[in-house]
Amino acid sequence: MIYKNLKPFPENFLWGASTSAYQVEGAADEDGKSPSIIDMYEHPEGVADFSVASDHYHRYKEDIALFAELGLKAYRFSVAWTRILPDGTGKINEKGLEFYRNVIEECRRYHIEPVVTMYHFDLPYCLEEKGGWTNRDTIDAFVNYAQVLFKNFGHSVKYWLTINEQNTMILHPGAIGLPKGGKLPSKKELYQQNHHMMLAQALVMKLFHRMVPEGKIGPALNLTAMYPATCSPEDSIAAHNWEVLRCWNFADVPVFGTYHPLAWSYLCDRGIAPEIKSGDMEILKDASPDFIAMNYYSTATIAASRGDASDVAARAGDQQIMLGEQGVYRPAENPNVGKTEYGWVVDPVGFRYTLRKVYERYHLPILITENGIGAPDRLEDDGSIHDTYRIDFIRDHLRHSYDR
């Protein structure tokens, strides 16, 4: 649609950037922090682990000063559960609380709004040894962890994200990391973990509304609109299949308190539906998220399944992410979108398309929590990087994010 008049971004719009604890903090075993599953994952030979990362743990003051210089109005970061509760539950590590209190205060000093992610892939390894998210006790552990966070930071942080990209953890566990021995959970186990995360999330959102009534909380999901490869009805059905299984089923549960009916039919048909105990569906009801947080990188194009192994292919540049599912859908090429040098789709118009779909489905405010481009940047002799492609990417996505 071509509008006659475009509204400007609101004056109080939260221009920000995002990090996660394990990707930037480093100091993996300092000041009482225990190992997370990320710390214990296998790392390919020649690839660094996260023990140093960007050393944000020691450099947060200069980092946040740079954020202010950049003009950021918000900083989304995650709390490492293992810094707060090294045993997963029980005794609180005061050094961990002190670090995040200092980060929040430093943000406030520069008038930067802190946005806290409670869980960004890094389950305490001590809980993983007891079954991790497959064990229902982890639900109680997460609620206990949330209570500690809300009690200590609820007065100084308004915006909270529960679980980052739960759909990625379930659909593409290998993209996050490989356990020792390289064996990933079965689909049945993954959807049981998903159910337990949904229960934990619902309980935490209800707890938050009691403890932090002036705050805002919501899930953070990787959401992507799907295009049918052609105008054939079969391709359209396949695109809808994957949009439901990849996106809506993971957002419907926290917003509506129920599994998407098509997704549930699929889970039952494949024999991978989770065990739902008495009272579980009551827990999922009325969690009432205040917004949807959305990570958007690209769209996907989908064709009808051929019902054989050719339905499945590795995503360009990432052998840990398999696209397609036999009998459900197959990935297809789209000549109308761009690609990065790593093979990722670049689709700023798809950003607008996805935003439309998310808002018309949930009628909740949307917080864009991740977006960006990966590229093989070249560092010049003078220390500069001539990344006009990144400038173009950000400009185009911003324009389409507000074009409606």
Closest CA to 15 of 162, 157, 116, 115: 115
Rounded Cα distance between 17 and 7, Å, is 23
Enclosing H/E stretch for 78: strand 74-78
Of 96, 42, 14, 40, nearest in space to 320 by CA: 42
The sign of the dihedral angle between the CA atoms of 105, 111, 115, 121 is negative
Contact 219, 194 (CB under 8 A): no
Find the farthest-apart pair of alpha carbons in the chain and give their distance in angstroms, rounded. Answer: 64
End-to-end CA distance of the chain: 8
DSSP 51: S
Q: Would residue 165 show up in a list of annotated catalytic residues for this protein?
A: yes
Active-site entry in 30, 189, 234, 370: 370
Q: Which residue, 309, 355, 365, 328, is CA-closest to 159? A: 365
The values of phi and psi at residue 128, to 5°, are -60, -40
Single out the catalytic residue among 106, 165, 243, 325. 165
Pairing of strands 366-370, 330-332: unpaired
Residue 120, number of CB atoms within 10 A of its CB? 25
Q: Is 282 a known active-site residue?
A: no
Q: Which residues are catalytic?
A: 165, 370
